[in-house]
Amino acid sequence: MAGSTLGNKFVVTTWGESHGKALGVVVDGCPAGLELTEEDIQIYLDRRKPGFSQFSTPRQEADKVEILSGVFEGKTTGTPISMVVYNTSQRSHDYGDIATYYRPGHADYTFDEKYGFRDYRGGGRSSGRETTGRVAAGAIAAKILRQLGISFTTYVASIGDVDIDRAQFDADYIMKNELYMPDKASYERASEFLSDVMADNDSIGSSVECIVSGVPAGIGEPVFHKLDACLAKAVMSIGAVKAIEIGDGINVSRNKGSYDNDNFFMRDGLVSKKTNHAGGILGGISDGADIVLKAHFKATPSIALKQHTVNQSGEDITISVRGRHDPIIGPRAAVVVESMMAITILDLMFDNMSSTMAGIENFYKK
Amino acid sequence: MAGSTLGNKFVVTTWGESHGKALGVVVDGCPAGLELTEEDIQIYLDRRKPGFSQFSTPRQEADKVEILSGVFEGKTTGTPISMVVYNTSQRSHDYGDIATYYRPGHADYTFDEKYGFRDYRGGGRSSGRETTGRVAAGAIAAKILRQLGISFTTYVASIGDVDIDRAQFDADYIMKNELYMPDKASYERASEFLSDVMADNDSIGSSVECIVSGVPAGIGEPVFHKLDACLAKAVMSIGAVKAIEIGDGINVSRNKGSYDNDNFFMRDGLVSKKTNHAGGILGGISDGADIVLKAHFKATPSIALKQHTVNQSGEDITISVRGRHDPIIGPRAAVVVESMMAITILDLMFDNMSSTMAGIENFYKK
Amino acid sequence: MAGSTLGNKFVVTTWGESHGKALGVVVDGCPAGLELTEEDIQIYLDRRKPGFSQFSTPRQEADKVEILSGVFEGKTTGTPISMVVYNTSQRSHDYGDIATYYRPGHADYTFDEKYGFRDYRGGGRSSGRETTGRVAAGAIAAKILRQLGISFTTYVASIGDVDIDRAQFDADYIMKNELYMPDKASYERASEFLSDVMADNDSIGSSVECIVSGVPAGIGEPVFHKLDACLAKAVMSIGAVKAIEIGDGINVSRNKGSYDNDNFFMRDGLVSKKTNHAGGILGGISDGADIVLKAHFKATPSIALKQHTVNQSGEDITISVRGRHDPIIGPRAAVVVESMMAITILDLMFDNMSSTMAGIENFYKK
Amino acid sequence: MAGSTLGNKFVVTTWGESHGKALGVVVDGCPAGLELTEEDIQIYLDRRKPGFSQFSTPRQEADKVEILSGVFEGKTTGTPISMVVYNTSQRSHDYGDIATYYRPGHADYTFDEKYGFRDYRGGGRSSGRETTGRVAAGAIAAKILRQLGISFTTYVASIGDVDIDRAQFDADYIMKNELYMPDKASYERASEFLSDVMADNDSIGSSVECIVSGVPAGIGEPVFHKLDACLAKAVMSIGAVKAIEIGDGINVSRNKGSYDNDNFFMRDGLVSKKTNHAGGILGGISDGADIVLKAHFKATPSIALKQHTVNQSGEDITISVRGRHDPIIGPRAAVVVESMMAITILDLMFDNMSSTMAGIENFYKK
């Protein structure tokens, strides 16, 4: 499959380059009858908008979304929803010099190897701006999921060695700070640390956690299209993500079965668990508990510090990447993680609808 | 998509239950003209065969593979290769008691929620035996990759808190010990530790690393079907995997850009890197360096220790899982990780063949 | 996509060659809870079984199907159903001479051009025996559809210039004659004609019609995956089919809108039509009327008459195709047409389940 | 799969409604390095542009295409090409009255049954304007094919009972008449006939033939994704097509094998055929001869004549469809047929690139 389409029933196709005319997305398979406005999308896009934090690129992009199709009289029609965001601040001249060499940590070299050349302006398609379309699609998926009683809590869990204080977790605080961290003390320590990193002309890694509540048990297809496998792909496909953990994540490889197995109990007449080491997924299928995923983002590869690299003439050179860059990826990427999870969970919920004869007969029999 | 088919051009469809008549796989899209024998497949299957180690289930299965189609006069014909392994040691009576309750850490509950009932014998389709077909397919993919100069080094990197000693790394030793570890001292420490775990009727987690050498630069599709995203899905789809790391993995979230960026250098006229924090993948596309992936397996959920759970009548009960179980998953799963990676890389290499006009014209013009 | 997998949710993967060890199919995405036995499959397979009619090849194949997975205690489990039919009458020596030349009307030349060589025994994968797996899968799809109130009437509509007499249409007669025609007089005329064709060492074309009753309105996805488009692909993929007509078919290009438009009327409180020129499909979506499709099969290309062709050494030669061949394809292929239609309609019915928010909320809300 | 994406490697996603803001298409998987301008696309779009013939709707739409992504410095980059055409002449008030009833021969009823409601303005997504995106994508596919030596001849073969005179076939004349017929006398007879039909407030059916020259032997995947099967789906997915013929088409069901089999001969050292009853496809794979397909279009369903139908209140009513309509579909649809065939053939040519080990090794080995 070519690279820019994802999903089986809720199908997302994104397009656009960092410094092209526009970026956009086509969402096909959105069910008919969903009330949808551009404002529903804009709320999500604003969470990744550049230029509005001391910790993000000063590039100012309004990122105003326009819906071009698929909505009629305020409701989705079941046909493709095309959404576009026009680029308004393409200072291509910032990037002219990167046409001839390969920035370390970037996709310049690999795009050249794959395609023979590349749109070098701001990274072209490999830019973080590529996620605009993902978030627009994710806003729709998340709205549908909310109507089904499913909600998301997404936040930055660490910045460098500054970890959040889980004892002070305050979900309401997440949207109140530009680092999207869930406690004030951690935000303040991280801010200070980030300022130092920026002063050093360096950048820093971070991690993002996403917790999904209300997913019914039974979602995910056994074997290759397990819920966790599909989530891992969706989130790992975000640029700069280098590790994915579900539930206890890497710690499971150090733990014993007697610890790791979440025992079942009856609670209010329902099968329940007291622990959730599994992160809400057993055998690739949701078990009704919270879905818990953590994504690890590397530091922004664009740094003004001197680096060694090579140019297209095959010469060793020393460079310093100028331009307008975020010093950290996680905060603006949190909504991208949430979007990719929403898209994936919704798609698997659609896939799940034909799992049993009883469900099918109930759907089709009058 | 239903759950048991993976791939776009090299398409793998597996089937079979732990205690059914047989397990198997259909590989479609295998190129014509590959020399292929049942022995090529058997070598891979033997690496996951049960019953031949003190650290694996005593269930004895020869796991002899039979090729039913797609090979003619010793060569693949380009048509589907159907392979089957008959089950010979289905002691279903071992499992009769698990029909009525949900084993913690297993997929019993989630299968019931999804499908209304389940083949409870040995876990049915959610059993580790499901991976038989994956490995048979992986053996073919790996053989093709070898002919293209691509090789795999796969080993157990940790068992509980016993980590391998990278200073003593000996690739030749991997296939010489039943734990598939790459150094003797670690194997011996792990063996002792595992014996203690087994004596306690408990199980333990582990991690597996897979290094792929020789993948040309340019493999992987941008945006959703990145090489790392597809690998993450493929490997996370193996039962019991709860985390995936590429290159430096979770450590990237603590590191700075100045450390994490692999600088480029010219070496023998080729673009090269001295470090490989990226694990051979930049922007979702291979950069020519080794592909490095680590998978974290949870402990075998079947343990003889007492556990709390519920039965299908909604009663809280206490159980102890009897039967023939491995105390650890990693060693027998190493070849499954390698297989999933081989399948994924090969499929993306096929996808990559139409990336440029020059490549297409060269292929089709006489 | 490699060629042997079809479907999105009800996914069918076939494998096997005419003279290999076996042929088979894996059906993934079959809903759990369907009562299914090998007898359900066998009834369908017997309709295409060779060797039991004066008008079919004398090759005797019992074509006994065995279910290897996916059924537990008489019900489907939701996991892949693997079915196999072993070849028992592979007289490969019949075919040795065709290894070196290209039979006119067959795929010998095109397989060689595509793959470099071919399994020449009985046509290998391009043999009509390839349809065995399609019919086994179709039997399952048709059983599910029957439980949803959907039924099939499939018959041979013409053999050469012998057309059925629609005034004498008798659905019960179809299964009572070896040509699967719906009226006795036409059967008798066709039999006589066929005997003459066979006496001439020639073969003859035929057409098959399939009428599907009870498909609810709303099935089919707009634009590329229209119901008629998917049916056309599914049925055209049967070897020897060269034309597909829906409803009035080719006649629509000669008719006026005032004739072709099926007017709507209310009948018993339901929207209904008095005519069905559209064959039950409007805008690619079922309209509740009978789905009507006609497939045109060319004559069996294997004929004992002298033909000109070339051999692999690039020499012009004259051949006469010996062996055991049907003189006509339609009668044994009727059940293949029905199977492909059942598979396609069921798959699109599954796809349709997420078309509206109301349907989704009704499915998931407790 | 949701309905608006087609293709495996050359992936086309269309969107847009007749009277929405715009229509468009995203083409993903277009190889890098193709010289591409908006003019390349416009030439194709102009062939289906409304308002410029006495035999097409007077609705004036410039249908000016804009490329928003995927092209850099005049060449495709390998990333998605997003193209948009803004609607400029949406006279929605023309269509207000059709909101409440079901036009015979249209998709009004089936969309309502599927989605619960519909964008009724001009047919919304079921309008012929939906094909705008197909043609824009087809222009790209056709340009690539031309560079590989593959060319198209597409024309209207019949209008009502006016058939072209094959003895007078003049390929150059096709683009010189507004009915896209290949001989002057037939054009004149058809024009006269069409004028009469229009005077009667009626519409008429037509057929379109497409001949593709230069497709190498070996294209198409056996079994389900045969070249003819994929072409049938692609072309049948165009609104109003009710029958597809390959080569001799429906006549094969009346012919004998001795007639239908195209004998092979050596010509200039190449395997060749003197006849082409098969339409260039054997066993679902191209044989190197011209690919020949014929599509039958029904009459435009919108007619001003009185028709019976029902409204959404379940009442029988009589209507007359006003507005701006073509009296015939074939002429403007010819370029749509060509586009769908180009997209399909190119996609299967990409799929074919991994068919043999020799081809793969040649591609990847340095």
What is the secondary structure of D95-138 as a DSSP string?
GGGGGSB--TTSSHHHHHHHHSS---GGGGGGSGGGHHHHHHHH
C3/chain D closest Cα distance in angstroms: 5
Range of lowest pLDDT (B147-161, B239-253, C89-103): C89-103
User: d(Cα C110, Cα C103) in Å, to the nearest integer?
Assistant: 11
Spatial contact of A107 and A123, defined as CB atoms under 8 Å apart: yes
Count of CB pairs separated by less than 8 Å, B with D: 83
Classify D30 as helix, strand or coil. Answer: coil
List C-alpha distances in Å: C212 to A22, C291, C340, D101.
47, 5, 12, 27
Chain C residue closest in CA terms to D162: C254
Chain C residues closer than 8 Å to B77 by CB: 17, 115, 117-119, 124-125
Chain D residues closer than 8 Å to C2 by CB: 221, 225, 351
User: d(Cα B215, Cα A245) in Å, to the nearest integer?
Assistant: 26
Chain D residues closer than 8 Å to B33 by CB: 356-358
Q: What is the pLDDT of residues B221-234, one digit of tens each?
A: 999 999 999 999 99
Chain D residues closer than 8 Å to A68 by CB: 15-16, 20-22, 24, 84
Contact B117 C75 (CB under 8 A): yes
Strand partners, A273: A264
Contact A357 C147 (CB under 8 A): yes
Spell out which chain C residues touch chain A, with contact meaning CB-CB distance below 8 angstroms.
8-10, 29, 31-34, 76, 78-79, 144, 147-149, 216, 222, 349-351, 353-361, 363-365
User: d(Cα D142, Cα B53) in Å, to the nearest integer?
Assistant: 60
HEC string for chain C: CCCCEECCCCEEEEEECCCCCEEEEEEECCCECCECCHHHHHHHHHHHCCCCCCCCCCCCCCCCEEECCCEECCEECCCCEEEEEECCCCCHHHHHHHHCECCCCCCHHHHHHHHCCCCCHHHHHHCHHHHHHHHHHHHHHHHHHHHCCCEEEEEEEEECCEECCHHHCCHHHHHHCCCCCCCHHHHHHHHHHHHHHHHCCCCECEEEEEEEECCCCCCCCCHHHCHHHHHHHHHHCCCCEEEEEECCHHHHHHCEHHHHCCCEEEECCEEEECCCCCCCEECCEECCCCEEEEEEECCCCCCCCCEEEEECCCCEEEECCCCCCCCCCHHHHHHHHHHHHHHHHHHHHHHHCCCEHHHHHHHHCC
Contact A17 D116 (CB under 8 A): no
Q: Check residue B324 and give its pLDDT.
A: 65
What class has domain A5-357? alpha beta
Spatial contact of D70 and D79, defined as CB atoms under 8 Å apart: yes
Q: What is the pLDDT of residues C141-182, one digit of tens each?
A: 999 999 999 999 999 999 999 999 999 999 999 999 999 999
Contact D353 B356 (CB under 8 A): no
Contact B364 D356 (CB under 8 A): no
Instruction: Say whether domain C5-364 belongs to CATH 3.60.150.10.
Output: yes
Answer yes or no: is pLDDT of D324 > 80: no
Low-confidence ranges of chain A (pLDDT < 50): none
Q: Suggest the residue from C81, C147, C215, C357 to mutate for an interface test with chain A (most A CBs closer than 10 A).
A: C357
Going by pLDDT thresholds of 50, 70 and 90, the confidence category of residue C333 is: very high
The answer for residues whose C-beta is within 8 angstroms of residue B276's C-beta and 6 or more apart is B247, B262, B289, B290, B292
Instruction: Say what the ipTM of the complex is.
Output: 0.97
Average pLDDT over residues D159-181: 97
Q: Check residue B96 and give its pLDDT.
A: 62
Going by pLDDT thresholds of 50, 70 and 90, the confidence category of residue C94 is: low
Chain D residues closer than 8 Å to B359 by CB: 31, 363
Chain B residues closer than 8 Å to C14 by CB: 80
Q: What is the pLDDT of residues C234-275, one digit of tens each?
A: 999 999 999 999 999 999 999 999 999 999 999 999 999 999
Bridge-based pairing of strands A81-86 and A75-76 is unpaired
Average pLDDT over residues D305-328: 90
Chain C residues closer than 8 Å to D251 by CB: 296
Nearest-by-Cβ selection for D257 from C3, C203, C258? C203
Chain A residues closer than 8 Å to B252 by CB: 205, 242-243, 296-299
Neighbours of C122 (CB within 10 A): 25
Count of CB pairs separated by less than 8 Å, A with B: 403
List C-alpha distances in Å: D344 to B8, C96, D122, D137.
16, 36, 28, 11
D26/chain B closest Cα distance in angstroms: 15
- CA D298, distance to chain mean position in Å, is 14
H/E segment holding residue B325: none
Strand partners, B207: B158, B296
Answer yes or no: is pLDDT of D81 > 90: yes
Q: Check residue D77 and give its pLDDT.
A: 97
Q: Check residue D145 and give its pLDDT.
A: 98
- For residue C245, what are its two tokens? 């007509």
Chain D residue closest in CA terms to C204: D256
Q: Check residue A56 and give its pLDDT.
A: 73
Strand partners, B120: none
- Crossing angle of helices A357-364 and C357-364, in 10° steps, is 140
Chains that touch A (3 or more CB pairs under 8 A): B, C, D
Spatial contact of D329 and D131, defined as CB atoms under 8 Å apart: no
Q: What is the pLDDT of residues D47-76, one digit of tens each?
A: 988 766 777 776 677 899 999 999 999 999
Q: What is the pLDDT of residues C104-147, one digit of tens each?
A: 999 999 999 999 999 988 888 989 999 999 999 999 999 999 99
Contact C365 A144 (CB under 8 A): no
Place of tokens 């024309």: D155
Q: Check residue C53 and give its pLDDT.
A: 74
Q: Suggest the residue from D6, D9, D14, D15 to mutate for an interface test with chain A (most A CBs closer than 10 A).
A: D15
Neighbours of D306 (CB within 10 A): 11
A54/chain B closest Cα distance in angstroms: 19
Answer yes or no: is pLDDT of C99 > 90: no
Classify A14 as helix, strand or coil. Answer: strand
Q: What is the pLDDT of residues D117-151, one digit of tens each?
A: 999 888 889 899 999 999 999 999 999 999 999 99
Q: Check residue C60 and give its pLDDT.
A: 72
Classify A244 as helix, strand or coil. Answer: strand
Q: Check residue D228 and give its pLDDT.
A: 98
Spatial contact of B234 and B259, defined as CB atoms under 8 Å apart: no
Going by pLDDT thresholds of 50, 70 and 90, the confidence category of residue D89 is: confident
Range of lowest pLDDT (B89-93, B288-292, B361-365, C86-90): B89-93
Task: Report the predicted TM-score, pTM, of the whole model to 2 decimal places.
Answer: 0.97
Range of lowest pLDDT (A332-341, C6-15, C209-218, D322-331): D322-331
Answer yes or no: is pLDDT of D1 > 90: no
Annotated domain spans of chain C: 5-364
Q: Check residue D322 and give its pLDDT.
A: 77
List C-alpha distances in Å: B78 to A230, C111, C165.
29, 9, 45
Answer yes or no: is pLDDT of B286 > 90: yes
Q: What one-character DSSP code corresponds to residue B117?
A: S
Question: What is the architecture of the domain spanning D5-356?
Answer: 4-Layer Sandwich (3.60)
Q: Check residue D215 and give its pLDDT.
A: 98
The answer for residues whose C-beta is within 8 angstroms of residue D176's C-beta and 6 or more apart is none
Task: Give the mean pLDDT of chain C.
Answer: 94
The answer for residues whose C-beta is within 8 angstroms of residue D169's C-beta and 6 or more apart is D182, D183
Q: What is the pLDDT of residues B312-326, one digit of tens each?
A: 999 999 998 877 678
Q: What one-character DSSP code corresponds to residue A52?
A: S
Half-sphere exposure of A13 (CA within 13 A, CB side): 31
Classify A276 as helix, strand or coil. Answer: coil
Q: What is the pLDDT of residues B338-360, one digit of tens each?
A: 999 999 999 999 999 999 999 99
Amino acid at B284: G
Neighbours of B15 (CB within 10 A): 29
Percentage of chain C surpassing pLDDT 90? 86
A256/chain C closest Cα distance in angstroms: 30
Going by pLDDT thresholds of 50, 70 and 90, the confidence category of residue C1 is: low
Contact B78 D353 (CB under 8 A): no
Going by pLDDT thresholds of 50, 70 and 90, the confidence category of residue C96 is: low
Handedness of CA B242, B247, B252, B255 (dihedral sign): positive
D34/chain A closest Cα distance in angstroms: 11
Spatial contact of D83 and D67, defined as CB atoms under 8 Å apart: yes
User: d(Cα A205, Cα A203) in Å, to the nearest integer?
Assistant: 7
Answer yes or no: is pLDDT of B92 > 80: no
Q: Suggest the residue from A224, A241, A337 to mutate for an interface test with chain B (most B CBs closer than 10 A).
A: A224
Q: Check residue A61 and give its pLDDT.
A: 75
Q: Suggest the residue from D1, D26, D354 to mutate for an interface test with chain A (most A CBs closer than 10 A).
A: D26
Chains that touch B (3 or more CB pairs under 8 A): A, C, D
CA-nearest of C78, D309, D347 to B116 is C78
Nearest-by-Cβ selection for B357 from D31, D353, D354? D31
